[in-house]
Structure 1
Amino acid sequence: MANPVSKLLTHLLFFIVITSVPELSESTKTFTIVNYCKETIWPGLTHSENFSKGGFALKPSQSAVYTAPDGWSGRIWARTGCNFDKDGNGKCQTGACGTSINCTVPGSPPATIAEFTLGEPDYYDVSLVNGFNLPIAVKAVNGSGNCSTVGCDGDLKQKCPSELALKENDKVIACKSACDVFNTDEYCCRGMYGNPVACLPTNYSKSFKQVCPAAYSYAYDDPTSITTCSGADFIVTFCGSRNQTVCYYHDKQLACNGFNGSNSFKAISHSWWTLMLALLFMFNLLITFS
């Protein structure tokens, strides 16, 4: 039977990262990034004009908080199968953004991408245009407007067409886009297909859409995929379901609510969780010296 103290530490691991966020100004948006996958992931986060210092490791059940100014535009995705040395240099199986843990270039396909353009209102979506490596869901909290949850809850790797499958040791680790595999104007929505009239869903994009109806499946999949919201903070979960309770940082407090559209939440003061961290440190000492 698991040690009750270690079990408590496991359940509270989520909060250890989130309580370290800095003081926020009124002109910032908060992104709570949560890893519900069974393995460590390395989220990448890039501004549309700046590819630096946007990468970190996130173990299972851990979360991190990122704050962005109004007007920020960028992407969030996960790298998988990474191996970095003590200096932060290495490689990843999917989603690589250079050879450093801090992204220096955009993530390479195939990778599922959460995209944001902040303003009045904020625009956000989850895109499979560059392929799929992990499920992503994006929820806007405490905002006004449409504010619907978008993303890809399903695992496309399980239903990936064989010609699109990216494998490692005979295991499918990602699903490529038809554009990357076949490189034709029709699949890439370019040339004479570079407009919403000529670029239509293909059998491949339709198969993506069937598994992930709330995500972009091809370049001009706007009507069912892009969402707007005003005044919201965002929760980005990897490998999570819409029904899970998710905790996030809002208005200088830790808040928790369901991923099912409920606006009710329980706010927990920052100072209370600071005290909890001190107790967790004491529990660690007890485990170490017992």
Structure 2
Amino acid sequence: MASHLNLFIFTIIASVIKLSESTRSFTIVNYCKDTIWPGITHGENFSGGGFALKPRQSAVYTASPGWGGRIWARTGCNFDKKGNGKCQTGSCGTILNCTAPSSPPTSIAEFNLGQIDYYDISLVDGFNMPIVVKAVNGTGNCSTAGCDGDLRQNCPSELTLKADGKVVACRSACDVFNTDEYCCRGMYGNPSTCLPTNYSKSFKQVCPAAYSFAYDDPTSVITCTGADYIVAFCASRNQTICSYHDKQLACNQSKGIRVISHGWWVPILALSFMFVSWWVML
């Protein structure tokens, strides 16, 4: 019986190790002064996630190695107890869990995970919130992507989006003017004809490590291998940010961060239940 028990425990441990190797952790941190409502969508499948993060709060999202999708912040939201409501910026439908892509203007973290990961911060759909992406324990370039400047402070008047008399976002020129030149479509739909405009240049000046227009690839896309990622809102690209390792949130400089875990505890709970059920049957 003891040998069977040891074998069973070894199988559980091996399964947990395999599980940890086959998943990636995204630590999503809110350094903003106000509550935000991060949205998460997987590629073209817009049945994604959504939750609230109060100031100084953090959440963990677990993804598969081949995951590709977007993470962004919704602001000025008001949801009822059933999760129905709306937001001033970043809306992805009318419920807390996203059922559609984000509505511009939105600052977006984009990921394509694989043998080599590709990630970037995109301002192609405009700007609503400073956002930074840091890779943890990866190999390769793995540099920090992001826009830690606040484009709302000096947004051109024709691009501003206001709510209650306050500038809550800076729209893209494509969203405002809807021309082929600004939207990089039609005769402008290739890298040789889609060039930076005065508007995208102003975005790039404030946020040099972010996409400012559709073909801004050379200075915006970053590669890394085997990393976990931190997506931090209202953070500086140079500051130490809380990260999630071995199911613990570690903060070197900032204090008071609270963590909400999403995903990893489900398989662990299932394995625990399997163990108890097996022991009872003996």
Q: Residues of 1 paired with 2:252 and 2:209: CA distance?
A: 21
For 2:229, the aligned partner's letter is F
Work out which of the residue numbers 184, 189, 209 in structure 2 matches 1:214.
209
The answer to whether 1:157 aligns with 2:152 is yes
The answer to whether 1:99 aligns with 2:94 is yes
Secondary structure (helix, strand or coil) at the match of 1:206 reads: helix
Equivalent pairs, count = 238
Deviates more, 1:244-253 or 1:163-172: 244-253
Work out which of the residue numbers 12, 22, 28 in structure 1 matches 2:23.
28
The answer to whether 1:73 aligns with 2:74 is no
> What displacement does 1:249 show?
1.4
Answer yes or no: is the 8 Å Cα contact 2:135–2:229 preserved in 1.
Answer: yes
Q: Which runs of 5+ in 2 are unaligned?
A: 1-15, 255-282
1:139 maps to which residue? 134
Answer yes or no: is the 8 Å Cα contact 2:146–2:237 preserved in 1.
Answer: no
Q: Residues of 2 paired with 1:247 and 1:135: CA distance?
A: 17
> What displacement does 1:256 show?
3.9
Q: Residues of 1 paired with 2:96 and 2:213: CA distance?
A: 29
Q: Which runs of 5+ in 1 are unaligned?
A: 1-21, 260-290
Answer yes or no: is the 8 Å Cα contact 2:39–2:48 preserved in 1.
Answer: no
For 2:190, the aligned partner's letter is N
Secondary structure (helix, strand or coil) at the match of 2:21 reads: coil
RMSD: 1.6
For 2:60, the aligned partner's letter is V
2:7 maps to which residue? none
The answer to whether 1:248 aligns with 2:247 is no
Secondary structure (helix, strand or coil) at the match of 1:208 reads: helix
For 2:28, the aligned partner's letter is I
The answer to whether 1:61 aligns with 2:82 is no
The change in CA–CA distance for 1:169 and 1:256 in structure 2 (over 3 A counts) is closer
Report the TM-score, using the length of structure 1 for normalisation.
0.79
The answer to whether 1:111 aligns with 2:111 is no
Secondary structure (helix, strand or coil) at the match of 1:156 reads: coil
Answer yes or no: is the 8 Å Cα contact 1:97–1:106 preserved in 2.
Answer: yes
2:225 maps to which residue? 230
Q: Residues of 1 paired with 2:142 and 2:226: CA distance?
A: 10
Structure with the greater alpha carbon radius of gyration = 2
What percentage of residue pairs aligned between the two structures are identical? Answer: 79
Report the TM-score, using the length of structure 2 for normalisation.
0.81
Answer yes or no: is the 8 Å Cα contact 1:243–1:258 preserved in 2.
Answer: no
For 1:137, the aligned partner's letter is V
Answer yes or no: is the 8 Å Cα contact 2:145–2:237 preserved in 1.
Answer: no
Q: Residues of 2 paired with 1:127 and 1:192: CA distance?
A: 23
2:10 maps to which residue? none
Q: Residues of 1 paired with 2:198 and 2:44: CA distance?
A: 34
